[in-house]
Chain A
Amino acid sequence: MPTFFTSRLFFVSLALVILGATLPLYVSGYVLGLLTVAFYFGVFAMAWDLLFGFAGEVNFGPTFLIGVGAYTAGILNNQFGWSVYLCIVLGALASVIAGLVLALPALRVRGPYFGLTTLVAVLMLQNFIVVFADLTGGEIGLTIPDVISINAGANYWIALGFMTISAAILYGLSQSPVGLVLQASGQDPVQAGALGFNIVKHKLFAFVVSAFFSGLSGALLVFYFGTASVGTVVDVAVGVNVIVSAVLGGRRTVLGAALGAIFLIVAGEFLRPTGELATFIVSAVALLVVLFFPGGFLGAALSREARS
């Protein structure tokens, strides 16, 4: 761990965060708004990478965890008018419970079977939201009376700070002994178990951490938007974007996932003039990266550094 603080990756990340923190001084509110969303997405992608890259669990339903956190926080605020911060914390806790529910099948089944269970979880949540439209706002979306702040700069700093702290915790975790045990149990559970590590405990822990950050980020995001809808926090397409971000940025790097998410959202915005073809182009670029640079952005950069 001490070697990290002298590594090039540390200085590059530090420089990027400092540069990012000064942005509100000279760019427009529009750019800040875009990056705010991108930072929350970055946390989604990093939380997903902890499960996939380290625990080896293919979670096709990141939006199940995100959506539970986002909607719990939103509904509590909408129905009872509790304070924003209490709602956010309760949303994150609800998401942790959802993570434990999702972890149960993961301990029994592997590979594509688990992937499907998570996908079904998202579809169930989506149906649930539509059926209980009185409570959740249904397909139109849930209106949330309170927001964290209406100042674009303040929202931006909150998002950047939140992403930086999450990145530090998740990256630190992935490099710690716990991260190594997770990696071992993801690659060969039998052997890792034979070495005396409690696989079940470690995997449950990974699910809880991933769910906590997904839910927290989801709750913050809806309080930024002032609304929660299926299309922004639950839809399978949102989950696909999270997965694509992590794979683009480089799986098993945690920090790369955040880079991938920022790239994906900013690129989508730049391509807006192309109209309906924007999604096509982003998907095509992502497919080319998956086919020709399977290590992703950060994976490719790190392996070059390791070689030299």
Chain B
Amino acid sequence: MRVFQILIDGFAISALYALGATGFTLIFGVSGVLNLSHGAIMVAAAVAAWAAASILGVGTYAGALIGVGVALLTAFATYFAVVKPIQDSRRIPNEEKEIFVLTGTLLWGIMIQELIAYFFTNNAKTVLPIVEGVVEILGVRTPTNEIFTAIVCCLVIALLWLLVNRTRIGKAVLAASMNPRGVTLLGFELTNIYIVVWAIYGTLAGIAGVLLGMFLGVSSYSVGPLTASAFSIVVLGGLGSVSGSLIAAFVVGYLETFTAYLVSPAYRTIPALLLLVIVMYIRPQGLLGRR
């Protein structure tokens, strides 16, 4: 019985992690940017969805849409106000741009977090779920919302796969991750590709954030841990490798669920961190990463 419960809960959490980390790794793969405001964007989406549904009373569907829209806008703001100025700056030497992007997005994330705390307090918020009720699977009482979360995550990831592998713009994005200069030689504007990637990223982070808000609830304190978990999943899978992050998300998701159920919820994050340290020592490029 307990085994099924762990399998079901672990699957929903892992799928959510996978969705959150996919956009993060996509941006790194294409433009070499590690966006440390990731957690803040997810929380912004969830809080916007919560505020729209609970304060303005627009209904759960419209609230979820508003949440994703806010994430999209925040992602664009991150790119145009923080990342692009640093990348275009002539006063920052090229080899130091990485640390400047990290510092810049980190500060930006703290600003978003503080604004959320200021306007909506630090209290945890749970977004009203789109589907309610409980169903019984293999003898485990499971909230319908949990199944809904898992299905939406899988669908969105499948759509992303189709977008990247089967459409013209997706193939341009893929090509840019392999060889940016080659893509510009073929007549693509690199900035346009980056805008597309940030749009995909914003949508993914928004959906993940809203689903997280429905499933577990969020507060402005979740910003740091969310960024850290996305970061560790992406590094475990190999920076820039989408399939690697998907595998890593399930490894981390199940590891955490096992620990929480079988040992103690207090030790939830420790085995995943240990695994990460071991992987960093033995195989620093991650499970499926390229050096």
Q: Which of A73-81, A113-121, A161-169 is the contact stretch?
A: A113-121
Determine if A116 and B231 form an interchain contact, defined as CB atoms under 8 angstroms apart: yes
- Interface flags for B66-105 (1: CB within 8 Å of A; 0: not) read 0000000000000000100110010110011011101110
Determine if A120 and B110 form an interchain contact, defined as CB atoms under 8 angstroms apart: no
Interface residues of B in 247-291 (CB under 8 A from A): 266-267, 269-270, 273-274, 276-277, 280-281, 284-285
Given contacts A112-B34, A284-B111, contact A105 B103 (CB under 8 A): no
Interface of B is mostly: helix
Chain A proximity of B274: nearest CB distance (Å):
8
Determine if A58 and B102 form an interchain contact, defined as CB atoms under 8 angstroms apart: yes
Cβ–Cβ < 8 Å partners of B284 in chain A: 105, 108-109, 113
Chain B proximity of A280: nearest CB distance (Å):
4
Determine if A123 and B269 form an interchain contact, defined as CB atoms under 8 angstroms apart: yes
A127 touches B (CB below 8 Å)? yes
Determine if A127 and B280 form an interchain contact, defined as CB atoms under 8 angstroms apart: no
**Residue of A with least CB distance to B92:** A294
Chain B proximity of A306: nearest CB distance (Å):
15
Interface size class of A (residues with CB under 8 A): 35 or more
Interface size class of B (residues with CB under 8 A): 35 or more
Determine if B269 and A294 form an interchain contact, defined as CB atoms under 8 angstroms apart: no
Determine if B114 and A291 form an interchain contact, defined as CB atoms under 8 angstroms apart: no
Distance A280 CA – B92 CA, assembled complex (angstroms): 24
Given contacts A113-B280, A130-B266, A291-B86, contact A243 B232 (CB under 8 A): no
Interface residues of A in 83-120 (CB under 8 A from B): 104-105, 108-109, 111-113, 115-117, 119-120
B106 touches A (CB below 8 Å)? yes
A305 touches B (CB below 8 Å)? no
Of A115, A123, A244, the most chain B CB neighbours within 10 A belong to A123
Cβ–Cβ < 8 Å partners of A251 in chain B: 96
Determine if A291 and B277 form an interchain contact, defined as CB atoms under 8 angstroms apart: no
Distance A37 CA – B82 CA, assembled complex (angstroms): 31
Determine if B111 and A280 form an interchain contact, defined as CB atoms under 8 angstroms apart: yes
Determine if B115 and A280 form an interchain contact, defined as CB atoms under 8 angstroms apart: yes
CB contact between B114 and one of A108, A279, A295 (< 8 Å): that residue: A279
CB contact between B107 and one of A109, A116, A187, A283 (< 8 Å): that residue: A283
Determine if A127 and B235 form an interchain contact, defined as CB atoms under 8 angstroms apart: no
A9 touches B (CB below 8 Å)? no
Distance A287 CA – B270 CA, assembled complex (angstroms): 32
What 4 additional pairs, Cβ within 8 angstroms, besides A280-B114, A283-B114, A291-B86?
A: A112-B235, A119-B228, A127-B270, A290-B86
Pick the 3 closest A-B CB pairs, nearest first: A280-B114, A109-B284, A287-B107
